[in-house]
Structure 1
C-alpha cells in the first residue's frame, strides 16, 4: 500500500532558536569544534543518540527542553556565540577574494563520492574524504566552486564481522530528510528535476543540495516514481552493481551533473573531474557547444578541453574504469550520434590506441584526452602516472608526458582533535584557523612545553581507548561472544600503552597483514610487560574482494590467540567518526603498501597534524614528506620484482624499526616521566608537515596552476569563435601534412674535446613540405646519459630559423652549451607550434632526427 501523499514534517523551534536551522543545514558545523561542543552540552545523551547530527538533535529535543534553552543564560549565550561565529565565517574576507577579486572563475567539482561527515553517507573512503576536504578548503579560501555528485539511497555499506571474522555487508537506506541536505525548489516551490537522456529513454532526476560553508554541493537522485525500478536503482548504491549499472551511474554523474548545473543557473568555466567517473561531462560540454554555437565536433572540442581539469588517483591500471566497447555503444550510441561521430571515432576517445578496435574503453583515457590539465596526487604518483599513460604520447620522453602532480592534503580543522585545536590556538593565535602554509607560522609548535603537549596527547589516547571499548563491546556482543570473554579481552586495552594504528581500505596491495608475517617476532614485541604495546586495525574490503576480506579474517583470528588477545583488535565499520578517534589518539600510524601502488595516503597526514608519528614505506605522500625527524621509513624506496621477497625484507625492516627505535624511544622517559625525545618528534611532525600537507595549500595550488590559467584560456577561446575555428583548421592542416616533416643533415662543429663552458654551434636542415616554419618548433634536445646510453635530466632549447630555400627546406641553427662534465647526448626534434596550443605535446605529433 502506497501513501496518497508524502509530507515532510519539521520540528517547531522557538523564534529565538530558528537560526539554528540554517546552521544545522550548513556543514560548517562539522569542522567548527565550538558548535559541536555547545550542542553536546545542551543534552549529552540526546546528542549521542542523534549520532551527533545537529539536524536530528534539534528534532529530538522536546518543547520544554527548547523553552529551557532560552531561559538558560549560559546555554543561550553559547548558542549566540556560535551563531556569531557562523555569520563571521560567511562574511570574513577570503584569500581568493583578496587576491583574485576580478576573476570570473567558476569551478564545478565532480566526484562520485563526497566524505563531508559520517552523517552524510555518500562516501566509501579516501577519494570521497579528499573530495569533502576539497570543498571545505574551497569554502575557507572563498574559491567560487560548486560540487556535483550523486545522492545514494543506500550509500556505502556498513561492515559487520561475523563470528569467524568474515566481513558481511549491510545496506540500510538513507533518509534524506534526516540528513543535512535539502531539495532544490523551483519558483513554484516544486522539487527541481531534470531529464537525463539514456539510450532507452529519459531518466527523471531530482536535484538536492548540501551547503558546505560558502560552497554548494548539488546531488542527483533518480529514486522517483516516474522512473522504472532499474532507473531508480541508478542512485541506489555507491560502487554497487555490475558494469551496466556502473556506466549508467557515470552517465548520470557526468552528463546529468552538467545538465543539473545548467538547471540551477551555474555556468562553470572550469570542470574538475575528481577521478575518471565523471569524464562523460567533457563530451556533454562539447555537445552543448555544438548545439549552441553550431560548432563541429573538432571545433567544440578545441573550445572546451582547456576548461577541463582531471585528477587521477590510482597507480594501478586495473583500478581505472574499463568498459567493453559493445557496452559503451549500447548505452551511448544516442549520445555518439548527437556528436556526429562514428562508432570507432567515439570509442577511440577512450582508447590508448584509437586504431585498436578490440580495446576496451577507459574513462581515464577519455579524461586525459579531453582535459586541459591533468595531475596525480603526489610527486611519486605523478611520475608513476606519466609512465602508466605514456602510450597516449608514445614518441615523447616519459618525463614530458603532460601529467603533473599536486600532492593531496587534509582539511586541518576537520581532522585536528578539539584538544589539539585548543593547544594550537593558545600557541599560534587565532590566525592558525586560516592554516597558513608558511612554515615559520608553525614554528612556535616547537616551543610548547613538553608536559602540555604530552598531556594533550594522553587525553586523546584515553578517548580512543574509551571509544574502542564501547565500540568493541557492541561488536563482540553482536558476534555472540560471552560477556565474561568480552570483558576479559577489553581489559587489555591500556590508555598508557604505545598504540599503533592501521586503518584503510583492505586491498591486498596495502598489505594489512605485513606485521603478522613473522609471528615469533611479533610475539617478541608483546613480550615485554614493562613496555606494553597494542595495535588497532580498521578498514573495509570491497564487497567483491575476497582476498581483502581474508586479510581481515586473519587479523581477527590472530587477535584471539595469546599473547595477542586483548592487545590486537579489529574495529569494524570504519567510517569518518572512527577514523577521527584513531588518527587523533594513536601514537604511531602504520602504512606499508606495496610501493608504488599508494597514490597518496591521506590518513597519515591526518595523524601527523595530531602529533602522531608515521611509520611508512616510501610511497605516496611519505616519499616526499619523510625528511627530517617526523617519523620513520620502512626500507629505502627499493623496487622489487619478487613480491614474496619484498614482503620478507620489508616485514623484517618493520620489526627492526619497532624493536630498536620506535618502542625504546616511546618508553625512554626523563625524571618526570616524559618521553622527551618522542615529544620532540611529535613537535617536528606538526611543525614540518601541517603547513604543507593541508587542503588550503592543495586547493590554492589547484587554483593557481590549473583553475585560473585554464579559465583564462577558456574565456579567450569561447569568446572568439573565429579564433577557435582557426585553431581547429590549423590542427587539421598540420596533421594532414605531418608525414612530410623530416630532419635532414645536422652539422655539429665538434672541436675534438669538449670542456665545461664551451659553446658549440650547430645547424640543421629540416624539410617541412607544405608546412611553414611558423607551424613548428625545431628543438635541440640534450641531457646526461646513463650506462645504457639513455637520456636523463634533459633540457630543450629552441633553434632559430636562418634561411629557407623556397622548396620546403629550411635551415635552423643554435648552440649546444657544455654546462657540466660527464657523458652527454644530443638530438633534434620538431614539434607543432601555435600560440593557442596549451602544450606542444597535445597533438601527439613529433619528429625525431634519425641516425
Structure 2
C-alpha cells in the first residue's frame, strides 16, 4: 500500500481507583510477583501478550473501556486491593533478622556491577544465564532487605530477537526500546536535574546519563550514552548488548566501570562492599583507586584498600568467555588513566596479563580484588586451575578462588499453580526456603493432587508449543498438512506423553546435538506407540557464533525429518517467558555439557524446583544436587578418553538412561493413571532443589563468606587514615624485591622409620635476603600419598624461628609421630602478614 505510515497511540486516562497500576508498573517487583502481572493480564490478555508483558506500554495502549469495566467489576477490584495490600506489606519488610546481625542499613551498602540484568522479558537488558543470575541476585537482595544497589547499562536495542526460517537458519532482529517504555526514571541530582556524567575517551568526552529502576527494596542504576550531546558513534555505545567490535566492548566496559563508580559518588552513595559480577566491570577498580589517590594515598596503598573491599565472581570456564583486549586498543583508552594513577602504562597493562596475549579483564579483576569465587564446587576448582598464573607459586587447589554455588529466585520461576498448592497445603512455606527438613512435608501432598498440578502445567506448555510452532511454520510457508502432522501428537489434552526439554544458549560445549549421536536409536525410542515421548528444544546462538547457529539448523532439520516429525520440536524466540513455561511444564530436563565447562547450569535448578526431573552430565550444580533418587546423572569420562570417544560414550549413556530408566519409570502405571514411582522421583527433585539451590541461600552464602569479610577487611585497612593499607603495600613491595633471593635448606630431618611415641624433628635454614622471620611462615605438611601421586594433607604444622645467624634464620619443630603407617611430608615457605585477606594472595611460595 503506498504512502507513509505514521504512528498514533491513543492513550487512556487511568481511573483514580486504578492509579496504583502505574505505580507498580515502575517497580520491577512485577517481574517476580505473578499476582501483580495477573491484573494487567485480566484487563486484556491479547494486548498483554502483544506488549511483551510490559506493564508501562500496556497502560498506554489499553482501551479506556477495559479500565472502566474493571472499576465496575467487584471481583477485579477485590483482587486489585488484595494485590496492592500485599505489595505494601512487601515494601514495609525490613532486613532479614539473620542479615541484620551482619549489615546495618544505615552504615553499609553493597554495590553490585554487571553488564546485563535479566529481571523479565519486558526489560530487555539481558542475553542469558549471566544476566538472569544477576537479576535473581538483585531479587533475593530485595527479599532479604539487604542494603544493596546494582549498576549496569541501559541498552536501546538490548539483545536480539530470534526467529528461525524455513531452512533452520537463525534470523536476528533488534527492537529499540525507549526509556518511557521501560520501568526506569531519570536519576536526579540534588538540584533535581537528570544526572549526567562525563567520561574521558581519546580526544573527546562522553556524556552519560543515569537512570533508576526500582526493584522492591533495592535500586538499579543504568548508564546510557544515547545523549544528544554525543556523536552518533558514541550514542551507539550503549545501543546493543554484546554487539559491535572489540573497541565497542571496551567502550561499554569503561562506561560501566568508570561511569558506574562516578554515578554512585554523584548520587551520594558510599558502598562499603563492591561486587563485580564477571570481569566486564573491572575498570571500576582503577577508577576507585584514582579516587583514593585524590585522598592522599599512593597507588599501591589505594589498591590494597580497594581490593580488600571487593568481591569478584567469575562465571565461565570457557577461555573465549573472558574479555581480552589487544595492547594497542588498551593503550588508546587507558593512557589517561595510567597518568591519573601515576603509573607507567606498561605497569598498568601488566595488571591484565595472564597466559596468552592481551589484556585480560578477568586477570585485572583477580589481581585487584581479594575475595574471588566461582559459581559451583566444580567450577571453583576449574577457575582456580585456569587462573593459577595469578598466583604462580601456589598450588592451584590452595589459591584464593573459592565458590558459591548459584541459586535461582524461587518466586520468579516457581509456577503459580505450585504456589497455590503450597499455600493450601504448607503453612508459612515462604519463610522456610532455607530449611531442608521442612520440605520433606511435600510428602503430605497426595500423589494424585501433586500429579494433577504437574499435568496442568504440562498441558499449558504443550499449548504454547502448538502456538509457537504453528506461527513459526506458517510464516515460513510450511504446508498445512506438515504443520498438522507436526503438532498432532500434542492435540489430545487427555493424552499422556513424556515431555523432555532442552533449552539454553546454543554454545557448542553445551552439546545440544549429543542426543543425535545415534539418530536411528533415538527415533526408535521416541516412536514407540505404547510409550510416546517428545523433546522440546529452544535457545539462541550469538550472532557471531556460527557453530552454535549450525546446531540450531541441525536440530531444525531433524525436527522436520520423517523419522522425527511430531517428536522433536524446535521453538524460536527463546526468552524468560518461554523459559518459565518450559521449566515448569516438562517431565525431564536434559543437560549435556562437556565436562567441566558447565560453570553452574541454573536452568536445571529452575526445572527441579518445579518438580521436573534432571537428566544431566554430573557437572556444574548437578554434581552437588544429584542425590541418586532425584534424577539421573551421566558420569563424565576422564581425560584419558579421546574427545570423540568421550562424546560417544556419554551419548550412549544418555540414550541408555532414557530408554531403560526414564521411559519405563514414567509409564509404570498401576491403574491410577500415573506412575507413583515417577511422582516420588518428582517430589525428590523438588525437595532437594528448593531449599538448597534458591537465590536466598546463594545470597546468604555471599553475605557470610564474602560480603561481611570484605567489609571487615576494608574497615581494618582503612582505619587511622589507611595506616594498615599503607603498611601492607610497603611490606608487599619489600617482599617482592627480596623474594627472588629467598631460599631454604633442610638441616635436620627424622629417620625414615619412627615409633609412634617418638618425635618428628625438623630443622630448616631459611635465607631470607633481608626479610625477617616475622615476614614468612614455614610449614610442614603431613599426609598420605593419593593415587595420582599428590599428597593428601592430613596435618599442617608451623615451624618456629629458633635463632638467626648472619641473615639466615633457623626454623624448627618437634612433632609427635601420632600418625600411623606410611606417611609423607613436605616443607614450604611463603610470605605472611596478618593484614592480608588471604595468606597466599601474593602468589609466592617455595618448597624444599
TM-score by length of 1: 0.95
Structure 2 residue 121 is the aligned partner of structure 1 residue 118: yes
The answer (yes or no) to whether the contact 2:113–2:275 under 8 Å persists in 1 is: yes
Q: Is the 8 A contact 1:514 1:647 kept in 2?
A: yes
Asked whether 1:481 is paired with 2:481, we answer no
- Pairing of 1:725-736 with structure 2 (within 5 A): 725-736=726-737
Give how far 1:740 is off. 4.2
The answer to whether the aligner puts 1:87 opposite 2:78 as a matched pair is no
Matched, 1:242 2:245: yes
Separation (CA, whole Å) in 1 of partners of 2:759 and 2:414: 56
Distance 1:101 1:504, change over 3 A: closer
Name the counterpart of 2:784.
784
Secondary structure, in 3 states, of the residue corresponding to 2:561?
coil
Q: Deviations over 1:374-413 (max 9, x none)?
A: 0000000011111111122221112101100100010011
Of the structure 1 ranges 689-698 and 714-723, higher mean CA displacement relative to structure 2 is found in 714-723
Name the CA distance, whole Å, in 2 between partners of 1:833 and 1:10.
67
Relative to structure 1, is the Cα distance of residues 751 and 532 closer, same or farther in structure 2, using a 3 angstrom cutoff?
closer
Counterpart position of 2:4: none
Q: Deviations along 1:764-805, whole A, 9 cap, x unmatched? A: 222334222222212112332235643234643212223334
Quote the residue 1:50 is aligned against.
Answer: 51
CA contact 1:108–1:272 (8 Å) conserved in 2: yes
1:401-550 matches, within 5 Å, as 401-429=399-427, 431-493=428-490, 496-550=496-550
Deviation (angstroms), 1:714: 0.9
Task: Kindly state the Cα deviation for residue 526 of structure 1 after the two structures are TM-superposed.
Answer: 2.1
Question: How far apart are the structure 2 equivalents of 1:127 and 1:337?
Answer: 33
Q: Cα distance, 1:70 vs. partner? A: 2.8
**CA displacement at 1:658 relative to structure 2:** 0.8
Contact 1:8 1:177 in 2 (8 A): no
User: Any conservation in 1 of the 2:637–2:650 contact (CA below 8 Å)?
Assistant: no
Change (3 A) 1:834 1:519: same
State which drifts further: 601-610 or 554-563: 554-563
Per-residue CA shift, 1:549-573, capped at 9, x if unaligned?
A: 1111111111111231111110011
CA contact (8 A) 2:746 2:764 kept: yes
- Asked if 1:71 is matched to 2:68, the reply is no
Task: Compute the TM-score of the two structures, normalised by the length of structure 2.
Answer: 0.95
Residue-by-residue CA offset, 1:356-381 (whole Å, 9 max, x unaligned): xx831100000000111000000000
Cα deviation per residue 1:804-833 (whole Å; 9 max; x = unaligned)? Answer: 34x223222224455654543212222222
**Local SS of the residue matching 1:438:** coil
Match of 2:5 in 1: none
Whether the 8 Å contact between 2:111 and 2:148 is mirrored in structure 1 is yes
What is the SS of the residue equivalent to 1:227? coil
How many angstroms does 1:341 deviate by?
A: 1.2
Deviates more, 1:276-285 or 1:473-482: 473-482
Q: What SS class does the counterpart of residue 491 from structure 1 fall into?
A: helix
Structure 1 446/398 Cα, relative in aligned 2: closer, same or farther at 3 Å?
same
Match of 1:203 among 200, 203, 206: 206
Q: What do the CA deviations read for 1:421-454 (whole angstroms, capped 9, x no partner)?
A: 112222322x322352120111101221100110
Whole-Å Cα distance in 2 between the matches of residues 296 and 621 of structure 1? 42
Q: Secondary structure in 2 aligned to 1:814?
A: strand
Equivalent pair of 2:507/2:548 in contact (CA under 8 Å): yes
Displacement, 1:346? 1.0
Q: Check conservation: 1:428, 1:442, Cα contact below 8 A.
A: no
Partner of 1:37: 38
Q: Which whole-Å CA distance do the structure 2 matches of 1:455 and 1:420 have between them?
A: 11
Whether contact under 8 Å (1:428, 1:441) holds in the other structure is: no
Give the secondary-structure state (helix, strand or coil) at the position aligned to 2:393.
coil
Distance 2:430 2:13 in 1: 34
The aligned residue for residue 313 of structure 1 is 315
Which residue of 262, 270, 274 maps to 1:271?
Answer: 274
- State the distance in 2 between where 1:832 and 1:375 align: 23
Q: CA deviation at 1:176?
A: 2.1
Q: Would you say the 8 A contact 2:120–2:576 is kept in 1?
A: yes
Q: How many residues get paired?
A: 836
Work out whether 1:254 is the aligned partner of 2:257.
yes
Q: Give the corresponding residue for 2:838.
A: 839
Question: Residue by residue, what CA displacement relative to the aligned partner does 1:281-317 show, whole Å, maximum 9, x if unpaired?
Answer: 11111011011x1211111111111111110111122
**1:105, 1:708 within 8 Å by CA — same for their partners in 2?**
no
The answer (yes or no) to whether the contact 1:169–1:543 under 8 Å persists in 2 is yes
1:346 paired with 2:348, answer: yes
1:19 alignment partner in structure 2: 20
Distance 1:97 1:823 in 2: 47
CA contact (8 A) 1:493 1:534 kept: no
Aligned with 1:455: secondary structure? helix
Change (3 A) 1:316 1:815: farther
- Give unmatched runs, 5+ long, in structure 1: 1-6
1:587 & 1:491 partners in 2: Cα distance? 19
SS at match of 2:237: helix
- Report whether the alignment pairs 1:182 with 2:188: no
Aligned equivalents of 1:34 and 1:94: distance in 2? 23
- Corresponding residue SS for 2:490: coil
- 1:632-662 alpha-carbon deviations (Å, 9 max, x no partner): 0123553454211112111111111111100
Residue 692 of structure 1 corresponds to 692
Q: Deviations over 1:485-513 (max 9, x none)?
A: 32232222255210000011101111111
Task: Tell me the residue number matched to 1:552.
Answer: 552
RMSD: 2.1
By how many angstroms is 1:270 displaced?
1.5
Q: Secondary structure at the match of 2:489?
A: coil
Does the 8 Å CA contact 1:493/1:567 hold for their aligned counterparts? Answer: no
Residues 678 and 722 of structure 1: CA distance in aligned 2, closer, same or farther (over 3 Å)? same
How far, CA to CA, are the matches of 1:145 and 1:46 in structure 2?
A: 35
Following superposition, the deviation at residue 55 of structure 1 comes to 2.0
The aligned counterpart of 1:328 is: 330
Q: Is the 8 A contact 1:619 1:637 kept in 2?
A: no
**3-state DSSP of counterpart to 1:812:** strand
Distance verdict in 2 for CA 1:117–1:818, change over 3 Å? farther
Give secondary structure in 2 for the equivalent of 1:765.
strand
Cα pair 2:527 2:533 within 8 Å, conserved: no
Q: Using the alignment, how far apart are the partners of 1:548 and 1:803 within structure 2?
A: 64
Quick one: distance in 2 between partners of 1:640 and 1:502? Answer: 28
In 1, the alpha carbon distance for the partners of 2:508 and 2:38 equals 39
Distance 2:754 2:787 in 1: 21
Cα distance between partner residues in 1 of 2:581 and 2:71: 33
Q: C-alpha separation between the residues in 2 aligned to 1:599 and 1:403?
A: 14
